[in-house]
Chain A
Amino acid sequence: MEQKNELVVCSGLTKVYGSLTALDHLDLTLERGRFVGLLGPNGSGKTTAIKLLNGLIQPTEGTVQIDGEVPGVHTHNAVSYLPDRAYLNDWMKVCDLLDFFSDFYADFDKVKANDMLAALEISPLARLKTLSKGTKEKVQLILTMSRRAQLYLLDEPIGGVDPAARDYILNTILSNYSENASVLLSTHLIADIERVLDEVVFLKNGVMTLHESVDMIREEHGKSVDMLFREVFAC
């Protein structure tokens, strides 16, 4: 089967919660092999967009397709998702979680997961609840990145992680996504990640205000994405 170059296609994607329009007619196409930052202030619709891509919530209006299909059984195989909160049972040991994931996902690479645990000095025998917040986040991220997915949806993956481990994690993400996979990552920590991004999407009150490559932004504005963000979203 030939793969299309477009991995994600959203058209007119809208989500309304009562009187609040969390996402307003998002038209967005993401190609394969790209590392995309989803940036916006609190409450701008980042998590809503990610949940729609994931099929966790249904759009009020508009459509989303991943690898040519609406979110469903096939896309659950294609998408590896890191939620913005802890969702794992914390009585489990790290090694149990690895078993759990390899039972659940055919594309889970346990060797890779163990390598990453070792590099970050996390004991596989530790119980999740004995780990610090940041270490728990690292474990979740390792589980997410150890799948050979086509699309990685990472909702605030580095917020609670210390700067030294942040670099390691970014490099891990970079070296782990294959050429026909893409990463969509939401964060506020723009300065830390912009050197690894291909392109960025700015969301403001549910509306996409910018979708541009990082180097184009630097070329056109003569400033970093972080500086541009601060300007665009100044309070």
Chain B
Amino acid sequence: MQWQLRGDRPIYQQLMEQLTEQIVSGQLGAGDKVPPVRELAAEAGVNPNTMQRALADLEREGLMYTNRTSGRYVTEDREMIAKIREQIASDRITEFLAGMSQLGFSEQEIVALLEKRRGEVLLHGTEE
């Protein structure tokens, strides 16, 4: 797992986002056991208190739960995971569209570019 932390935002938020991404992408599957706090903290190179806070907040959001005897798990609620996945996708699309419109592309142009890209991908595969 690659952890990327930027300077300008709270670290626990970035950890939450990246853990959420691991869950929606299936790297951490529904119902999987979450590695121990200290292990995750060491991997990300952050303070265990900060990792603990990120995990506690994900619990509060319902993406994880703690079983008192056996540790922390990813939620079994696949519907919820799917919903969050869609939400992230929709946020990214909004961001992408905003960036394109800043470059002066109209919606039709953007769609045309995407269509063109899809044609290329079908021909050559996903490699650039």
Contacts and interface: CB of A to CB of B under 8 A. Distances in A.
Interface stretch (B7-15, B20-28, B73-81, B97-105): B7-15
A214 to B, nearest CB: 7
A223 B5 CA distance: 13
Given A174-B41, A175-B38, A195 B46 contact: yes
A95 interface: no
A218 interface: yes
Interface string B77-121: 000000000000000000000000000000000000000000000
Sorting the interface of chain B by its residue count into under 10, 10 to 19, 20 to 34 or 35 or more gives: 10 to 19
Contacts of A171: 42, 45
A215 B50 contact: yes
Contacts of A218: 7-11
Contacts, number: 53
A179 to B, nearest CB: 9
B48 A174 contact: yes
A35 B13 CA distance: 19
Contact of B47 (A191, A196, A223, A224): A196
Interface in B44-63: 45-50, 53
A170 B46 CA distance: 9
A194 B41 CA distance: 14
A223 B8 contact: yes
B51 to A, nearest CB: 10
Interface of A: 33-35, 167, 170-171, 174-175, 191, 194-198, 214-216, 218-219, 222-224, 226-227
